[in-house]
Amino acid sequence: MPPSAPYIELHAHSAFSFLDGASTPMELAAAAEDHGYAALALTDHDGIWGSREFAEACKGLELRPITGAELTVTLPESPDFAHLTLLVESATGYRNLCRLLTMAHSHTRDNPGRVASQPWATLEQLEEHAEGLVCLSGCARDGALAGAWERRDTARGERLGRRLLGAFGRGRFRVELQRPYWRHDRARNRWLAQLAARLGVPCVATGNVHSHSRRRGRLQDAFVAIGLGETLEESEPRRRGNRSSALVAPAAMAARFAEHPEAVAETVRLGERLQFDLTTDLGYQHPRQGDRDADDELAGLCAHRLTESYAGRPSRDEAEGRLDQELATIRHLNLSGFFLLHHELLELAREVAVEVRGRASARAVLPPGRGRGSSVSSIVCYLTGLSHIDPVEKNLFSGRFLNDEAQTLPDIDLDFPRDIREVLIPRVHEVYGADRSALVAAFPTYRPRGVVRDLGKALGLPPGEIERVAKTTGFHESAGEMEQDVIAAIGAERAAAPRWKALLWLCDDAMGLPRNASQHSGGMVISTEPLVDVCPIVPAAMVGRQIVQWDKDSCSDARLLKIDLLGLGMLSAVERCVEEVATTRGEELDLSRLALDDRETYESIRAAETTGVFQIESRAQMQMLPRTRPQNLDDLTVQVALVRPGPIQGGAVHPYIERRKLQRQCEGESREYEIPYEHPLLEGALEETLGTIVYQEQVLEVAIDLADFNHAEAERLRRAMSRKRSQQAIDEHRDSFLVGAVGAKKVPLETAERVWEQIQGFAGFGFPKAHSAAFGLLAYQSAWLRVHRGEEFLCALLNEQPMGFYPPDALVQEARRRNIRIVPPDANRSKVLCHVETPRAAVVGSGDPRPHEQRGGSVEGPPTPPHSAGVVRGGLVVRVGLGYVKGVRKEEMEALVAERERGGAYRGVADLASRSGAGIASLERLAWAGALDGTPLDAAATHADATVAESTGGSPVGGERRQALWGVGVTANGRGGARRTQLALPIEPPQAPPLEPLGDWGELIADYRSTGIALGKHPMELMRPGIDPALLSSSELERAKDGGMVEVAGMVVARQRPGTAKGIVFMTLEDEHGIVNVIVPKRVYERHRATVRAAVMVRARGRLERREGVVNVLVESVEPLERGEAQAPPPLGPEQPPAHRARSKSQPEPSSRRARELAVAELRSVAPAGHSFGRRGR
Amino acid sequence: MGATTPGLRRLYAPRPVTARTGPNGTPLAVGDVDVATVREEWEVDDRWWIPERLQRRYFDLALANGRSVVVFRCALSGRWYRQRA
C-alpha cells in the first residue's frame, strides 16, 4: 500500500446491495488492493449482508475494511425516501448501525403476501442511534442533501443538513460530494460545498462505487433494470448512464475532484479515524461463556446418562474415558454452556414433537430429531441426545468435531421431520426472544436458468425464446456452454442477434452473484445477549421467522452460536411410513430396534434395488452397489460417503472398489488382505477405507500422521476445503504439507505429492464419517421399510414430495414392477393425502361396496403383462390422495373428505356436487383425474350399476372420465359466487349423451395432466407396437451381448451432469419393463444438447457395456423418440397414441405419422419432467 | 449518426464540428472559436446491447465569442459533434 495514497473510498456497493451492485466483496477488496487503496468502506443498501465476508477477504490483503451501510430514511415534510451513508467508528457505532438496520427492516413484510418492501428508518430513530457513527450526507441522486438540490428544494436540504449536524455533531457529519459524470455535477457540488461551509463541516468526496471494474458496469445496468422489472431501455432514467461508478485508482479519483481537493484529503483523514475492526471488535460471547457452573451441570448430565446407556456393557470403560477427555476439551474451550444450550433446544424439540405427533401416535416413540454431521462422533452429543449413534461402538473420531486447538465453534446439526421443524423454529423465537434468536441468511446466487430469464427480460428478448433457452440450460455451466445452449434452442441466426450476444456476455459475470437474501434451510443463531447488537435481524418471508443479515460462513467466522435445525424429507417419510404401518397393520414399529442384519434388506441393496432409499438411490450409487456389495452398516457408512465429489476427485472410488473386491476374495480364501498404502504412516488413518481417503476427518488424520500438522493446522486445512472459492486457500497449505511430510516424517517427496493430490482432489466435498454413519443408518432403515413395508413406504414417499432422486411417476412405476398396487384417486375412498387401503377398509364407508378396481374402472393396479409378472403382495393398495390432483383447492378436498366421513359416501356426482362444497373447478379436475369414475352419475344409477357389474363380473359402468366430467358440468354450480359452493338442491342430471371413452392414451395424458402419475399403461408400452422393432426394451437389454451395438428408447426420468464427470451426462430412461442407463459422452452431448437436456422421450444408439452386473449403454447418438419414429410410419393399433380417435367422423383421418407426432407432442407437454442434477455455483 | 425517414427532420440532431483539444481531451477551440470556459463535463455510455451504442463525452462550453455550445466526442468514431441541449 503506498502510504501517500491520496484518497480512500468511503462509499461502495457490492452485489449484497441486491441488484444495485455488480461485484462481490472479494472482488472489490482485491481490486482496491490492486489500485493501492489503504482502506475501503463497504456501504451496501440497508444492510451489512456482505460485511463480514468483506472483512475476512481484507485480512489477507493490505487493505483495511471499513464497515458501513447506506441507510434509507424517511424525510420530514415529504413522501420521499433519502439515502445517508453511515460509517462505523466504534463498537457503539456498530451496535447502533445494527439496531438501525433492524428497525429499517422491521416493517418490510407487513403486507398480506409478505413480499419484501423498501426498508426505511425515521430520522428520529437515526438521531437516537447516532453515537459512534459517522454520517455522510448521501449520494448524488437520492442523498438527503444532494437529492434536495436535485428536487430544487434547497431550503429543505439546508434544514435537513442542520438536523443531521445536530445529531452527529461537527466531528461526525460530512457533506458528501460525488462526481458520477452527470450533466449538473459541478453545479450540485458547488451548492453542497457552500452548504457545508454554512454548516461548518468539511466536505468529503466519494465514488459511489457499484462495480470493481468498468466491464462489470454493464451488468450493473442490467441489474438495475431487473430490480425495476423493466427493460434496459425503460430503465434508462434510473440507470447511471455511464461506467463512472466502477472502482478506479485513488489518483484518478483525486483528479476527478480537482475542484474540491479538501474533500479528497478529508477521505484520508476520515478513513484513518474509522478503525473499528469487525473481525476483532464484535464483543460477542456465546451463551454462558465463562460460566463455571455450566461445566458441572454438563458433566453431571453426561455422567447420569452414561450410567444408563452403558450399564453392563463392555464398552463402558472406554466410554468413560472418552467422556472425560471430551469434557476436559469442552471446559478448556469454555463450551459447556454451548452444549447445554443445544441440549435445552433438543428438550424444546421433544415438547414440540409431542404436540405435532400426538401422544397416541405411532411416531411418539421416535426421538424428536437426529444428529448429522461431525457432531455424531461426540460422546457428549450422544449422551445429551444430540446424536443417536454410539460413537464408541462405531469407533468415530471426534477430533474433527472437537479439539483443544479449535478456532471456531463446533457445528451441531440436527435433522427433524419437516412438520416438527416447521413448529420448532417459531417456537425457538418465542422462547428465546425475537431479539435473541434468528435464522441464518442464505444468498441464492444466479444460475443459468435464472440468468437467462432475468437478463433476457431486461434485454427485451422475446419471452418464448427466453423460455426455450432457459429450459435447455438445465445444468450449471460456463458462458461458452451457454452459447451452445442458445444456438441449440433458437438457432445460430437468432443466437447471433446483438441482444442475445449481450446476454451471453453478461451471463458469465452474473453467474454466482447473490440474487437476494433468503433464509438458510435451518441454521439458527441464538444469543443470551441481544443479537441485534451483533448483526441486524430482518423478517423472513415465512410468518414467524426472522433472519440475521449474515450467512453461515459469516456467522461461523464471527463465532456466533449456530445450531442447524434441518428438515430432512426422508426422516419425515420414514415417520409417515411408521404411522401408516400402524394404521394399516396395527403394528408399532420402533425403528431403533430394527435388526441391523436383515438378509433381504442387504440383498436388495446389493442388487441396487434402492429406488426411494435414502442416499443410495442415485444412478451413481446404484451402479456401485453391485460392485461394493455392502454387507453391514459399516459398509453402508462407507457407501454413503464414497459417491461424493471429494472421494471421486481424490481418486478414492475405483481403488476402494477394487480393494474391497480383493478383500472379499481373501476373506473367502481365509487369508488376510494386505492393503497397499501409499506410505506405512497412513495405516492408522486409512485402514478402514482400505488405504483411500473417503471421510473428511481422514484428511485431518493424514495431515497429522504424514505431514506432522497439529490439530489446529489440520482443521484450517479442512475448513479451507469446505468453503466455496477455496482453491487459493488450499494451495497455501500445500507447501507446509510437503515440508512437514518430507522434513519431519521423512516421507519421499513423490509420495507426499501423490497424497497431497488426493487431499487436494478431496476439496470438492466429502462427508465426515460420523455424518455418513448417521445417514447410513437412515439408508438402512429406509431400505428395510422399502423391502418389508413397501406399500406404506411408497405412500410416505408420495406424500413427502418433493424429495429424492426420482419424480413420483418413476417411484410409482418402479413400485408397480415390484407388484405393489397403486390405484387412482377416488372421491369416495381417497383421503387428501395418499394412504394405504386394506381390503376391509376399501369397502367401508362407500356407496358402492366394490372397490373401483374391481369394478373394472379404467385403471388397474399392476396391469397385465409386462407389469403383473408376479403376485400382488399382501392385499394392500396404495390409494392416491385427492390432494395429489393438480389444481384442486386443498381446503375443498379437506371439506370433501370431512363431509364424506360425516354423512357417508357420495351417492352420485350430483350428491357430491351438492354436499362436498367443492367448486366446479376442483370437481372438473377430479373428474379428469378419474377420481369420480367410482361415483355414478346419479344416485339412482348406484343400484343399477351394481346389478350390472355383478352380472358382468365387474365390467365398467359409469366409469368414464368424460361422463363424469359431463356430470360435473350439469350438476355443479358456476365459478362465481362469494363462497363458490353448490346449494344443496336435489339436482339430478339427465342421462349423459354417448361419449367416446378416453382410451389408454387419453387416460395416460389425463393422468399426467392431473396427478403426474400414470396408473394405466406405460407410454412406452403404448408406443411399442408402432416403433422401430430394432429398439430393445430394458428387459431385452439384460440379455443383450456385452460390447454389441444396441438401440434403446424410453422416457427420461433423470439426467445428471456431475462436475466431476468431465462433461459426461448420465441419463436414466424408463420403459414399460424397467430402467435403461445411458451414458452420453461429451462429444455426443455437444451434438445433441437440446435433446439430452429437454426431450421427454428419447431413443439412443450405442455400445452396451456390462460390468459386474451393471449395464450401461455408451451412446453415439441421441434423438427425440418422436422425431426418429416419424421416419417409419407405424401402424396405429387401438391402444396406441390415438390422436385421431377424438375426431369426429367428418374430419379427415390424419396420417398415422402425423397422428403419432401430435400424440407424442401432447405427451411431451404433460409428462413429468425428469429430474436434472448438475454442478453448482461458479 | 443514423439516417432519418425521408420527409422527417430529427430535432436536436448532432451536427459534426471540428475541435482542437488539449492533452486531457478537453476542447480548446470549436471550429475557429476558442473555448473560454468549460462549464460542465459529463459522459454517456449506454445502449451497449444494440449496434446503436452511445459512448460520448459531453462538454458544456462558453466560447470566446460569448456564445454557449454543447459538444461531444463520440468515442466510437473519434469525431466531434455539436448538439443543442
Cell numbers describing residue A101: 438496520
Cβ within 8 Å of residue A246, ≥6 positions away: A209, A210, A211, A212, A213, A214, A216, A217
Q: A697 to each of A715, A762, A766, A778, how far by Cα in Å? A: 9, 11, 9, 21
Cβ within 8 Å of residue A200, ≥6 positions away: A165, A170
User: From CA A207, how far away is CA A1056, in angstroms rounded?
Assistant: 45
User: From CA A92, how far away is CA A98, in angstroms rounded?
Assistant: 10
Report whether the peptide linkage leading into residue A112 is cis, meaning its omega lies within 30 degrees of zero: no
Angle at A278 between CA A274 and CA A282, to 5 degrees: 115
Cell numbers describing residue B6: 425521408
- Provide the percentage of residues in chain A whose pLDDT is more than 90: 59
Residue A101 has pLDDT above 60, yes or no: yes
- As a whole number, mean pLDDT of residues A737-751 equals 94
Q: A806 to each of A34, A746, A809, A822, how far by Cα in Å? A: 48, 50, 8, 17
Which one of B38, B42, B53, B56 would you mutate to disrupt binding with A, by most A Cβ within 10 Å of its Cβ?
Answer: B42
Quick one: pLDDT band at residue A138, thresholds 50, 70, 90? very high
Give me the amino acid identity at A986. Answer: P
Residue B12 touches partner A, C-beta closer than 8 Å: no
Look at residue A809 and give its three-state secondary structure: helix
ipTM associated with this complex:
0.92
Look at residue A121 and give its three-state secondary structure: strand
C-alpha distance from B81 to closest chain A C-alpha (Å): 17
Q: Which residues of A touch B48 (CB under 8 A)?
A: 218, 221, 502
Residue A221 touches partner B, C-beta closer than 8 Å: yes
Residue B51 touches partner A, C-beta closer than 8 Å: yes
User: Which range has highest mean pLDDT (A3-17, A201-215, A327-341)?
Assistant: A201-215
Q: Which of A81-90, A191-200, A921-930, A1058-1067 has the lowest mean pLDDT?
A: A1058-1067
Q: Where are the alpha helices (DSSP H) in A563-606?
A: 569-585, 599-606
Residue A864 has pLDDT above 60, yes or no: no
User: From CA A187, how far away is CA A299, in angstroms rounded?
Assistant: 71
| A885, A931 contact by CB (below 8 A) | yes
Residue A745 touches partner B, C-beta closer than 8 Å: no
- Indicate yes or no: pTM above 0.90: no
What pLDDT is attached to residue A1035?
Answer: 93
Of B44, B50, B60, the CB nearest to A242: B44
Q: Which residues of B touch A187 (CB under 8 A)?
A: 40
Q: Which residues of A touch B71 (CB under 8 A)?
A: none
Residue B53 touches partner A, C-beta closer than 8 Å: no
Cβ within 8 Å of residue A919, ≥6 positions away: A889, A892, A972, A973, A975, A980, A981
Look at residue A1156 and give its three-state secondary structure: helix
Of A183, A243, A498, the CB nearest to B42: A183
Q: A437 to each of A52, A115, A241, A385, A529, how far by Cα in Å? A: 19, 22, 43, 22, 10
C-alpha distance from B37 to closest chain A C-alpha (Å): 13
Q: Which residues of A touch B62 (CB under 8 A)?
A: none
Higher pLDDT, A242 or A1094: A242
Look at residue A28 and give its three-state secondary structure: helix
- Read off the pLDDT of residues A214-259 as tens digits, 9 standing for 90 and up: 999 999 999 999 999 999 999 999 999 999 999 999 999 999 999 9
Q: Which residues of B touch A239 (CB under 8 A)?
A: 46
Angle at A782 between CA A776 and CA A784, to 5 degrees: 105
User: From CA A497, how far away is CA A483, in angstroms rounded?
Assistant: 12
What pLDDT is attached to residue A544?
Answer: 85
Residue B52 touches partner A, C-beta closer than 8 Å: no
Q: Which residues of B touch A241 (CB under 8 A)?
A: 43-46
Which one of B49, B60, B83 would you mutate to disrupt binding with A, by most A Cβ within 10 Å of its Cβ?
Answer: B49
Look at residue A629 and give its three-state secondary structure: coil
- Read off the pLDDT of residues A374-383 as tens digits, 9 standing for 90 and up: 888 899 999 9
Q: Of all helices (H) and strands (E), which one includes residue A1049?
A: strand A1045-1057
What pLDDT is attached to residue A183?
Answer: 92
What pLDDT is attached to residue A543?
Answer: 87
Strands A1171-1174 and A1045-1057: parallel
Residue B44 touches partner A, C-beta closer than 8 Å: yes
Residue A158 has pLDDT above 90, yes or no: yes
> CB distance B51–A498 less than 8 Å?
yes
Q: Which residues of B touch A236 (CB under 8 A)?
A: 46
Q: Where are the alpha helices (DSSP H) in A687-768?
A: 696-707, 711-722, 727-739, 749-762
Quick one: pLDDT band at residue A125, thresholds 50, 70, 90? very high
| A759, A699 contact by CB (below 8 A) | yes
Give me the amino acid identity at A1107. Answer: R
Look at residue A748 and give its three-state secondary structure: coil
Residue A236 touches partner B, C-beta closer than 8 Å: yes
Quick one: pLDDT band at residue A292, thresholds 50, 70, 90? confident
User: From CA A1015, how far away is CA A1003, in angstroms rounded?
Assistant: 9
Q: Which residues of A touch B39 (CB under 8 A)?
A: 186
User: From CA A1012, how far away is CA A811, in angstroms rounded?
Assistant: 11
Half-sphere exposure of A287 (CA within 13 A, CB side): 22
Chain B residue whose CA is closest to A237: B46
Residue A176's DSSP bridge partners are: A204
Q: Which residues of B touch A186 (CB under 8 A)?
A: 39-41
- As a whole number, mean pLDDT of residues A1142-1154 equals 48
> CB distance A241–B48 less than 8 Å?
no
| A32, A264 contact by CB (below 8 A) | no
Quick one: pLDDT band at residue A478, thresholds 50, 70, 90? low
> CB distance B46–A242 less than 8 Å?
yes
> CB distance A499–B49 less than 8 Å?
yes
Of A181, A232, A499, the CB nearest to B42: A181
Cell numbers describing residue B85: 441541449
Residue with cell 480383493: A662
Q: Which residues of B touch A179 (CB under 8 A)?
A: none
Which of residues 489 through 518 in chain A touch B, CB cutoff 8 A?
498-499, 502
User: From CA A969, how far away is CA A963, in angstroms rounded?
Assistant: 10
Q: Tell how many helices (H) and how many strands (E) occur in chain A.
A: 47, 23
3-state per-residue secondary structure call for chain B: CCCCCCCCCCCCCCEEECEEECCCCCEEEECCEEEEEEEEEEEEEECCCCCCCEEEEEEEEEECCCCEEEEEEECCCCCEEECCC
Sign of the alpha-carbon dihedral angle for A386, A389, A391, A397: negative
> CB distance A183–B40 less than 8 Å?
yes
- Read off the pLDDT of residues A1012-1055 as tens digits, 9 standing for 90 and up: 999 999 999 988 887 888 899 999 998 898 999 999 999 999 88
Of the candidates A157, A154, A174, the residue with the CA atom closest to the CA atom of residue A165: A174
Residue A799 has pLDDT above 60, yes or no: yes
C-alpha distance from B50 to closest chain A C-alpha (Å): 6
Of B44, B50, B51, the CB nearest to A241: B44
Strands A412-416 and A437-442: unpaired
Higher pLDDT, A867 or A204: A204
Residue B38 touches partner A, C-beta closer than 8 Å: no
Q: Of all helices (H) and strands (E), which one includes residue A1112?
A: strand A1110-1120
C-alpha distance from B12 to closest chain A C-alpha (Å): 17
Residue A398 has pLDDT above 50, yes or no: yes
Q: A569 to each of A417, A778, A781, B23, how far by Cα in Å? A: 7, 11, 14, 68
- As a whole number, mean pLDDT of residues A681-710 equals 92
Give me the amino acid identity at A528. Answer: T
Residue A65 touches partner B, C-beta closer than 8 Å: no
Strands B68-74 and A1171-1174: unpaired
Q: Residue A743 has what DSSP assignment?
A: I
Residue B8 has pLDDT above 80, yes or no: no
- As a whole number, mean pLDDT of residues A955-964 equals 60
Look at residue A297 and give its three-state secondary structure: helix
Higher pLDDT, A947 or A250: A250
| A1138, A1132 contact by CB (below 8 A) | yes
Of B42, B49, B50, the CB nearest to A185: B42
Chain A residue whose CA is closest to B45: A242
Angle between helices A336-357 and A418-432 (to 10 degrees): 120
User: From CA A448, how far away is CA A467, in angstroms rounded?
Assistant: 12
Residue A571 has pLDDT above 60, yes or no: yes
Residue A217 touches partner B, C-beta closer than 8 Å: yes
Cell numbers describing residue B21: 483539444
Of A186, A498, A499, the CB nearest to B40: A186
Chain A residue whose CA is closest to B58: A183
Chain A residue whose CA is closest to B60: A183
User: From CA B52, how far away is CA A7, in angstroms rounded?
Assistant: 36
Chain B residue whose CA is closest to A184: B40
| A283, A92 contact by CB (below 8 A) | no
What pLDDT is attached to residue A1038?
Answer: 87
Cell numbers describing residue A752: 507426499
What pLDDT is attached to residue A684?
Answer: 92
- As a whole number, mean pLDDT of residues A533-562 equals 92
Strands B33-46 and B54-63: antiparallel
Of A184, A218, A236, the CB nearest to B48: A218
Residue B39 touches partner A, C-beta closer than 8 Å: yes
What pLDDT is attached to residue A999?
Answer: 84
Residue A792 has pLDDT above 60, yes or no: yes
- Provide the percentage of residues in chain A whose pLDDT is more than 70: 88
To the nearest 10°, the Cα dihedral for A392, A394, A395, A401?
-90
Interface A–B counts its CB contacts (< 8 A) at 44
> CB distance B40–A184 less than 8 Å?
yes
Chain A residue whose CA is closest to B57: A181
Burial class of A853 by CB neighbour count within 10 A (0 to 12, 13 to 18, 19+): buried
Compute the radius of gyration of chain A from its Cα atoms: 33
User: Which range has highest mean pLDDT (A997-1011, A1058-1072, B49-63)?
Assistant: B49-63
Residue A251 touches partner B, C-beta closer than 8 Å: no
Q: Which residues of A touch B44 (CB under 8 A)?
A: 241-242
C-alpha distance from A183 to closest chain B C-alpha (Å): 5
Residue A1103's DSSP bridge partners are: A1045, A1114
Round the average pLDDT of chain A to a whole number and report it: 86
Residue B23 touches partner A, C-beta closer than 8 Å: no
